[in-house]
A and B are shown apart, each in its own frame.
Chain A
Amino acid sequence: MTSAATIQKKSIRFRARSFVAFALAPEAPLGEWLRGLDRWTENSPGFFAGRPVVLDLNILKPNPREVAGLVAELAARGIRIYAIEANAIDALGPELPPLLRGAKTAIIDEAQAPSSQTAKAAAPAKLEEPPESSALIIESPIRSGQSVFHPHGDVIVLGSVGSGSEIVAGGSVHVYGTLRGRAFAGATGNGKARIFCQKNEAELLAVDGWYRTADDMEPSSRGRPIQAFLDNGVIWVAALD
């Protein structure tokens, strides 16, 4: 078979994929919001690196001319904006990230023709739970520098989680060894998620964006089995023994 024949047989395949992005929703006054963001990134440097971040402007409602400045401010902080969500804005310049409509779009069936898919993807769909909310079970230790990102459910680690590693889960985080790294539970907006570990030596515990660093934890909670949960915007770390 010649290579030309192979090419003719192949048709272009469009694949729909869903990604979970972090949505940043700035609020007025903007200066104060940016200072708050700086405080957060100071505690979690590199948190946004390599992660898709969407800028949600439905709260701030800036006029289109202000958007470029805001994107530049975020770029200066190392946060690259993949798309912008703004119901009130119809079009943005080509130098800005594309506008995103209808977050949480329906899951597109791969078998359908690509032309009808684009229309469907643009239509806002009803809010629904992600279809897979299965737990991710990891039987080996998480080593320093490794990052586990599982937006659709719990993360269960049977080994230890090393200092300088992180687990980001849409659901709860369970560690059956020593937790020495950082754990983010409910990272996609679930305030009911919790963090459990057999021995707490964590650098940072976070639920739904609220966090507590090792420095802010009661010394009595160190080295023990604990759970961390969110109540009224405060992370509680409670012993389990």
Chain B
Amino acid sequence: MAKVVVVTSGKGGVGKTTSTASLGAALAQAGKKVAVIDFDVGLRNLDLVLGAERRVVFDLINVTQGVAKLSQALIRDKRVDTLFLLPASQTRDKDALTEEGVANVIAELREKFDYVICDSPAGIERGAQLAMRFADEAVIVTNPEVSSVRDADRIIGLLDSRTLRAERGESVNKYILVTRYDAARAARGEMLTIDDVLDILSTPLLGIIPESEGVLRSSNVGSPVTLNEPNNAAARAYFEAARRLQGEDVPMVLPVDRRGLFDRLFGRRAA
């Protein structure tokens, strides 16, 4: 039985899709069978980030409406053969999703995979609520910045009230993933520190992804950073986050610690 994980944030542009792709790929690279689902109906992106946009035939809406079988819509990644994508429809909108349809798709995926990762659309409306509805675990993506942290707080409230688990009196395991973290700027007080973020959200930390040019570079060539540049600092952080998601105890290292002498000599002047 798969674990269903929703990657969500409330705010747009904080890195949900990038994180879904990178975590999904990292788990698949570790040998897990992973399905990533794009819930952003009408504004689909996950296919691009995974480099599968030319291979989309059927999508999530087709499957929920019974037009296509799940096996016809799932796209197997060309680089990691345990990674599958269920793309969103670009021509429909979020009203085309029904709770019953999503429930059936998730139930079917649960049988066949180790991890089902749902890439939530931004916002707190129908699309986002359906993406989190059947989740066992939630990765809440936030930047070290006040508005995304407040939106993350709002989403945590919804995870505690609107998910199937919450309605059954159980709880969704929640983790914070801080992305685009720049240790030098946090030290100068231009960003919230990790402590600030965790203090506000009082939720355990899954990982800290440093700001990195490699992430954007990888997205643009249609490859998660964990596949394209596996030695990049952001990729290493995603690998560690994926291990923590599997229950491994990996010590949390602030990205600043890796910069060492170079940072001490040039870090401050360069800014």
Contact = CB atoms under 8 A, between A and B. Distances in A.
Are the chains A and B members of one assembly? Answer: yes
B160 A163 contact: no
A43 B200 CA distance: 24
A144 interface: yes
B154 A144 contact: yes
B151 A144 contact: yes
Interface of A: 140-141, 143-146, 159-160, 162-165, 177-178, 180
Interface in B180-201: 199-200
Contact of B150 (A140, A160, A162, A178): A162
A160 B154 CA distance: 13
Main secondary structure of the interface of A (DSSP, over half): loop
B202 A164 contact: no
A144 B200 CA distance: 10
A165 B150 CA distance: 10
A213 to B, nearest CB: 17
Interface extent on B, as a size class?
Answer: 10 to 19
A180 B157 contact: no
A144 B151 CA distance: 7
A163 B192 CA distance: 15
Nearest to A141: B202
A180 B200 contact: yes
B150 A164 contact: yes
24 contacts: A140-B160, A141-B202, A143-B153, A143-B156, A144-B150, A144-B151, A144-B154, A145-B153, A145-B154, A145-B157, A159-B202, A160-B200, A160-B202, A162-B153, A162-B154, A162-B200, A163-B150, A163-B153, A164-B150, A164-B154, A165-B157, A178-B199, A178-B200, A180-B200
Interface in B141-184: 150-151, 153-154, 156-157, 160
Contacts of B150: 144, 162-164
A140 B124 CA distance: 21
Given A163-B150, A178-B199, 14 more contacts: A143-B157, A143-B160, A144-B157, A145-B153, A145-B157, A146-B157, A160-B200, A162-B150, A163-B153, A164-B153, A165-B157, A177-B202, A178-B200, A180-B200
A159 B150 CA distance: 16
A165 B201 CA distance: 13
A84 B25 CA distance: 62
Nearest to A164: B150
Contacts of A145: 124, 153-154, 157
B153 A144 contact: yes
A120 to B, nearest CB: 38
Contacts of A141: 202
A141 B160 CA distance: 11
A-B pairs with lowest CB-CB distance, top 8: A143-B157, A144-B153, A144-B154, A162-B153, A145-B154, A143-B153, A146-B157, A163-B150
Contacts of B153: 143-145, 162-164
Contacts of B154: 143-145, 162, 164
A178 to B, nearest CB: 7
B166 to A, nearest CB: 11
